[in-house]
Amino acid sequence: MDFFARQDAARKKSGRLVVYFLAAVALIIVTVYVLVAALGLYFSGPDFVFWNAGIFFTVSLVVSLVVFLGSLYKLGIIRKGGAAVANMMGGRLVPTNSDDVLERRTLNVVAEMALASGVPVPPVYLMENEASINAFAAGFNSDDAVIGISRGAVDALTRDELQGVVAHEFSHILNGDMRLNIRLIGVIHGILLLHLIGYGLMRIVGRTSSSRDSAKVQLPLLVFAVSLMGLGWIGVFFGRLIKSAVSRQREYLADASAVQFTRNPDGIGGALVKIGRSSHNSHIGHPRAEELSHLFFGNAVKRLSGLMATHPPLKDRIMVLLPHFDGQFPALTEQELDENRVEAGLTQAPGATMLTHERSVAHVGEIVRAPEELLDIIGAPLSDHVALVRRMLDKLPEVILEAAHEPFGARALVYVLLLHREEDLREKQIGWLRTHADKLVFQETLRLMGFHDNLPPEVRLSLVDLCQAALRALSPGQYEAFRANVLALSNADQQVTLFEYTLRHVLVRHLDATFRKPRRNIIRYHSFARLKKECAVILSMLARYGHATEAVREEAFEVARRHLSTIADHLALLPETKCTLEHFDDALDQLAQLEFRYKKELLVACMASMAFDQCLTVTEAELFRGISGALECPAPPWLQLQSLKDT
């Protein structure tokens, strides 16, 4: 099953989740009605009519409101995405410039996985008080995703094992599991709310007078309160069943994806073995562990097993990855933990070799694969992509990497990437920054300018992705000033190049989801029928910006439109005035709400246009990543970074 099919399957599971939720609510309504009717019999005697449509309607309304408002309340709390979930678990945001060797190694592994996946580097939260080995990914999409990891995992896992765990969590991000998991949090809370109400009512009854007159009222109220608590546990039971049905099979898939990602079954397999060897296993002690158990890498709740378990048995997962596993879990030793910290200290820092660039600044290479085959890498990064990213990071100047990991340097680095090579325009941009940028950021920009000409185009967009974790640490005011400066620098010559557009589009689109309104694309279109104009805009702009002559543009457009067979006859190459960057942005916003299988057809058509001349420039490869990212189909930077293979 490819990325696009997995996305549609995850959304269908979201639909099933609604069905399960409604079924649980219906059962709770029926049970509450029976309790209310029993109370009616208790107070009114045998004359009470057991079935009463009015009472049933009232019970249904009250229970539905309690459950649905409870779910909406919880979803409102986590509306900001992964950071809200990490804070619920008591996570501490790990600063991107942390000096702790184990934390820095964790940040490096997460950054490598993110860059190889083609998504912004997510913030990392450390569950400082959890000695067990566990981790989670949380968020609605890659814009607001975070990685949470326990102190036990950071201390006990080797780099390869940590990489396997992080790759497993990135599989959940890429496959749509993360979005489904975060919605489950709201569903479970709504059902659990009845239990909480019953508990509160029982405490009230316990504080009331114990006189003979009040006893007749207290007893049924106490029974009702206990019954509500029991109903809450019915909800929890259904919630566990739902989480189990949704999660267990997807854990096997995520394990397999991690092996594909790292090409190292010993990494994730070794991490699972260490869970068995740890005295704390993967159990999370936080009070919200039950509520969020389905998010974790390992089974977070000690008492859940069998039908109720959100994860497959530990030994079963290990045997799939390591067939020769002997089933033994010798205890972890202090010596192993000490050796792990030593290893982290030796491997945490990337190399400081200057990356030179001797090939054409515009040309990546010949396209030797069909557009359909190139799309196989979307949402399915391979170990080759990780190796390319590590090669890039190892060869980048250390001063650039340090800048990308802290908020002042990250802003300065983005400004540097937007500086023109033409002296007059660069001076104009520097003059703007001198007036409008933070003074310390401006000084850092001047310091980093000396490295600008030695940065090959292939690494530009990956550096932007690398900066995003640090940029999320800005205050809202700092972000608005930074955003305004990015727009001003890209418009300095009253024209926007494709690179400037792509950088601005990728950066602002992702960060706006953090600092402004979160982006939640809902599938509204199930065919291209209502999106003909938008498809024509995308393909026309690619044909016009990617090819030099009108004749070649028309041929490239013709080849591309054939891939959209259902609307091909309705598409025509648009003039430049009707396929501007503003039109392009609007079209992408609409196409982001298209069903994923049709997004695949569109991306194939885009690649067919760009690859028509059998060559792909760095800027075209970057633009393709921008398009795929806007459609929530992240593409690894393989097309840009493949030219680094031989350097």
Catalytic residues: 169
- Separation in Å, CA 621 to CA 100, 214, 574, 640: 36, 77, 22, 6
> CB neighbours (10 Å) of residue 586?
14
**Separation of alpha carbons 573 and 551, rounded Å:** 11
State both tokens at 456: 């090959």
> Tokens for 155?
């201390």
As given in the structure block, the two tokens for residue 70 are 């409870």
Q: Cβ contacts of residue 196 below 8 Å, gap of 6+?
A: 232
User: Could you give the CA distance from residue 317 to residue 315 in angstroms, rounded to a whole number?
Assistant: 5
Q: How many C-beta atoms lie closer than 10 Å to residue 188's C-beta?
A: 27
Q: How many CB atoms lie within 10 A of CB 128?
A: 13
User: What CA–CA distance (Å, rounded) separates 359 from 644?
Assistant: 10
* CB neighbour list of residue 283: distance below 8 Å, 6 or more residues apart: 132, 289, 299, 300, 301, 302
- Those residues whose C-beta lies under 8 Å from the C-beta of residue 63, and which sit 6 or more positions away, are 25, 28, 29, 32, 194
Neighbours of 354 (CB within 10 A): 12
β strands within 291-366, DSSP E: 363-366
Yes or no: say if 457 and 496 are a contact pair by the CB < 8 Å rule.
no
The residue to which tokens 């790990």 are assigned: 94
Q: Is the dihedral of CA 98, 102, 105, 106 positive or negative?
A: negative
Longest dimension (CA), the chain: 97
Helix axes 383-395, 212-262, angle to 10 degrees: 80
3-state secondary structure of 141: coil
Report whether 122 contacts 145 (CB < 8 A).
yes
Query: What is the gyration radius of the CA atoms in the chain, in angstroms?
Result: 28
